[in-house]
Chain A
Amino acid sequence: MILIGERINAGFKDIANAIRTKDPTAVEKWAVAQAEAGATYLDVNIGAASRDPADMAWLVETVQKAVPTKISVDSTKIEAIEAGLDAIDGRGVLVNSTTADPGKLEKIIPLAVKHEAMLLGLAMDERGSPQNVERRVENGAMVFMAATEAGIPPERIVLDPILMPIKFMQEQVPNVLEAIEQYTHLSDPPPHISVGLSNIGSKTAERGRIVRTFLVMAMARGLDAAILDVCDEETIAAVATAELMLNQEIYSDSYIRAFRIKAGGSA
C-alpha cells in the first residue's frame, strides 16, 4: 500500500502559518511524524494560503531537509507543481495532480515525464466531479491513455476516482468502489489506485470508523494507495490487516510491527 501523508497542507492552520512566516518548525514536525508513521510519500500542498510558486519550493526544501521520504507535490496550479518539482533533490516524487481535462493533461504530463515522476490523475474533467461510475472510468481511462502514450508505464500512474463525503453524497460511495475495480482492468499490471481518504468522513460524527471501513472495502476492490492521516494508528493497523486478508503479506503474530518495519517507520 502506498501511503501518502496528508498533513503538510496549508488547509491546516499551523502549515498556513509556517508558509506565511517561513518558520519551518511545524513543517519539520509533521514531516518527521509522518515519516516515522510509515508514509511512502509526504504530500506537500500550499493550498489557498499562497499564490506564490516560490512558497511551494520552500515547503519542498523544508521537508527534504527534515526527512529522506519521497514527496507528493500537490497543487491545482501548474506553476506551483513546476516550482515544487524543480526543488526536488533527486528523491522519488509524485505529481499530484492532473485531471482528465485535455488542457491540463498536455501541460502536466510533460512535467511528470521530465522529472521521471509518478503521476496522479483525478477522474475529474472540465465539467467537474463525476457523479456516476461511467464518468469516473471514462476520465480515469483518459488520463491513463494520455500518460501511457507519453511513455509513462502503468506502474507510475495513479488514478483517483474522487471520493466524496458520505454525509452529503452517500450514493456516490458504491460508485467509487465500482470504479476502483474497473480501473484494475485497464492494464496488466494495472495502474495504482488512490483516494483522498479523509474526504469520506468529512463532518461525520464517526469519522474514524467511516474512514477505516471504507478503506478496507476499497482495498478489497483494488485500492493500493491513499492520501490519508498516516499518524492514525488504527487506520494503519487496518491497512496492515487488510494486506493480510489479501494475502499480500505473510501472517505473523506481530504483523503490525512487521508492517511498520517494512514501511521503514519506527515501531
Chain B
Amino acid sequence: MTVQIPDAKKSWPHTINELTIGATAETGGTRASTVVVGGETTLPFYHFEGSMPNAPVVAMEVWDIPPEDWPEPLQAPFADVMSEPGTWAAACVERHGAQMICLRLKGCDPNGANRSPDEAAAAAKRVADAVGVPLIVWGCGNDDKDNEVFPVVAEAMSGENCLLGTITEDNYKTLTAVGTAYGHKLIAESPVDINMAKQVNILALDVEYPAENLVIYPSTGALGYGIEYVYSIMERLRIAGLKGDKVVAMPMLCDIGVEVWGVKEAKAPEAEVPGWGDVATRGPMWEASTAVVYLLAGADILIMRHPEAVRMTLETIRRLMGGGGTQ
C-alpha cells in the first residue's frame, strides 16, 4: 500500500523587502561591488517551497582603534594589520573573503578614546579607500556621541549607500534624518523584544524614513546565551513579514562576533577550563555554530570576527543555497 505524503508546501502572500547596500560608480559611489539581501518568499532555505533569491552575506568587523580586549586567538590572524582600519579591512576582504566590512567606531566612545566625529569620518574614508566591498558603519553605542558622529561620517560617506546603525526606540531622529539626507540604509535595533522591534520600525516610518531601507537587528545572543530567544523572535518576525505585516518584512542582521567573543566558551584558554579543548579551535567553532543557528532563523547579514569561523560559515551558506559538495 502506498502511503500518501500530504503536500506541506505553503504559499506566503508577501515578499521580504529586497535591499541593496553599496554603490558603484554607475550609481554614484566608489564600491567595486554591491550586496543585495532579502527578497525571500519563504522561510530560510525552503528552496522547495519558495524563492530565496539572495544568499546571506558575511561582513567582517574592523575597529577604528586597535582592540585591546580581544582574546589571543582573535588577535593572532590580524596582528600585522590591526593598527590601521584600512589595512585591517583590506586583509579581511583579500585574505578571508569578507563580503562587507563593518567598521565599528569604538574609538568614539566618550568613556574610552573619545575620538572626534572628524577622526571617525577619516577612519571610514580609509576603510572605503582600502576595500571595494560595501560598508556597515556602527556607532560607539553612546546615543549622544553617536548623534554627533553620524552626521559627519554619513556626509563623508555620501553616495556610498552604506548601512548605518543603529536606531533604537529612544534614539532614531538624528540617524533617520542623516540616512535620508546622505542616502544610507539603516539598522533598526531592539533589545531581544519583538514588540520593540516592530515599534522602532514604525517610529522610523513616522519620520518618513522608507521601510524598504531598514534592516532589523533584533539583538544577538551567543550560543548558550539566549540564542533560542532571539531565534524565536526572528522566526516570528519573518513569518509575520511573509504573511503581510509590512512593518516587519525587512531583512535581518545578526552581530555574531561581538557576542561570541565575550563568552568564556569561546575565549577561555584550555589551562583555565581543562577538558574544553584548544581555544584556537573552540573559539572559531563557537562563532561559526552561532552564525549557522542565526542563518536558519532568517539572518540575511552576519557580522563576524574570526577568519576560520567566516570560512566555515561561507561554506555552510554555499551548501545551504544548493551548492552541494562537502567541506
**A residues bordering B, Cβ < 8 Å?**
249-255, 257-258, 261-262, 267
Select from chain A the residue with minimum beta-carbon distance to B203. Answer: A254
Residue B142 at the A interface, CB < 8 A?
no
Residue B293 at the A interface, CB < 8 A?
no
The interface centre, meaning the residue of A250, A253, A267 with most chain B CB atoms within 10 A of its CB, is A250
Residues A252 and B245 in contact, CB atoms below 8 Å apart: no
As a 0/1 sequence over residues 182 to 195 of chain B, the CB contacts with chain A under 8 angstroms (1 = contact) are 00000000000011
Q: Could you tell me the distance between the alpha carbons of A86 and B129 in the complex, rounded to whole angstroms? A: 62
Question: In the complex, what residues of B have CB within 8 A of residue A258's CB?
Answer: 198, 202, 245, 247
* Chain B: interface residue total (CB-CB under 8 A): 17
Interchain CB contact (< 8 A) of A250 among B203, B205, B245, B246: B245
Decide yes or no: A261 and B247 within 8 Å by CB, A250-B194, A250-B236, A250-B240 being known contacts: yes
Residue B250 at the A interface, CB < 8 A?
no
Question: In the complex, what residues of A have CB within 8 A of residue B196's CB?
Answer: 252
Smallest beta-carbon distance A258→chain B, Å: 5
Question: In the complex, what residues of A have CB within 8 A of residue B206's CB?
Answer: 254, 257, 267
Question: In the complex, what residues of A have CB within 8 A of residue B203's CB?
Answer: 254
Smallest beta-carbon distance A142→chain B, Å: 28
Residue B289 at the A interface, CB < 8 A?
no
Decide yes or no: A261 and B195 within 8 Å by CB, A249-B245, A250-B236, A250-B248 being known contacts: no
Select from chain A the residue with minimum beta-carbon distance to B202. Answer: A254
Smallest beta-carbon distance B307→chain A, Å: 37
27 A-B pairs within 8 Å (CB atoms) are namely: A249-B245, A250-B194, A250-B195, A250-B236, A250-B237, A250-B248, A251-B194, A251-B195, A251-B198, A252-B195, A252-B196, A252-B198, A252-B202, A253-B199, A254-B202, A254-B206, A255-B198, A257-B202, A257-B206, A258-B198, A258-B245, A261-B202, A261-B246, A261-B247, A262-B244, A262-B246, A267-B206
Question: In the complex, what residues of B have CB within 8 A of residue A253's CB?
Answer: 195, 199
Q: Given A252-B202, A253-B195, A261-B205, 8 more contacts at CB 8 Å?
A: A250-B237, A251-B198, A252-B195, A252-B196, A257-B202, A258-B202, A261-B202, A262-B247
Q: Could you tell me the distance between the alpha carbons of A258 and B245 in the complex, rounded to whole angstroms? A: 8
The 4 closest A-B pairs by CB, nearest first: A252-B198, A252-B199, A254-B202, A251-B195
Q: Could you tell me the distance between the alpha carbons of A255 and B240 in the complex, rounded to whole angstroms? A: 14
Smallest beta-carbon distance B113→chain A, Å: 36
Q: Could you tell me the distance between the alpha carbons of A175 and B245 in the complex, rounded to whole angstroms? A: 34
Q: Could you tell me the distance between the alpha carbons of A22 and B211 in the complex, rounded to whole angstroms? A: 41
Question: In the complex, what residues of B have CB within 8 A of residue A250's CB?
Answer: 194-195, 198, 236-237, 240, 245, 248
Select from chain B the residue with minimum beta-carbon distance to A255. Answer: B198
Interface residues of B in 223-254 (CB under 8 A from A): 236-237, 240, 244-248
As a 0/1 sequence over residues 246 to 280 of chain B, the CB contacts with chain A under 8 angstroms (1 = contact) are 11100000000000000000000000000000000
Question: In the complex, what residues of B have CB within 8 A of residue A252's CB?
Answer: 195-196, 198-199, 202, 247
Q: Could you tell me the distance between the alpha carbons of A267 and B198 in the complex, rounded to whole angstroms? A: 16
Q: Could you tell me the distance between the alpha carbons of A249 and B247 in the complex, rounded to whole angstroms? A: 11
Question: In the complex, what residues of A have CB within 8 A of residue B248's CB?
Answer: 250
Smallest beta-carbon distance B322→chain A, Å: 31
Smallest beta-carbon distance B99→chain A, Å: 30
Select from chain B the residue with minimum beta-carbon distance to A267. Answer: B206
Question: In the complex, what residues of B have CB within 8 A of residue A254's CB?
Answer: 199, 202-203, 206
Q: Could you tell me the distance between the alpha carbons of A262 and B244 in the complex, rounded to whole angstroms? A: 7
Smallest beta-carbon distance B294→chain A, Å: 20
Question: In the complex, what residues of A have CB within 8 A of residue B205's CB?
Answer: 261
The interface centre, meaning the residue of A251, A255, A261, A267 with most chain B CB atoms within 10 A of its CB, is A261
Smallest beta-carbon distance B102→chain A, Å: 27
Question: In the complex, what residues of A have CB within 8 A of residue B237's CB?
Answer: 250
Question: In the complex, what residues of B have CB within 8 A of residue A262's CB?
Answer: 244-247
As a 0/1 sequence over residues 114 to 131 of chain B, the CB contacts with chain A under 8 angstroms (1 = contact) are 000000000000000000
Smallest beta-carbon distance B278→chain A, Å: 43
Question: In the complex, what residues of A have CB within 8 A of residue B236's CB?
Answer: 250
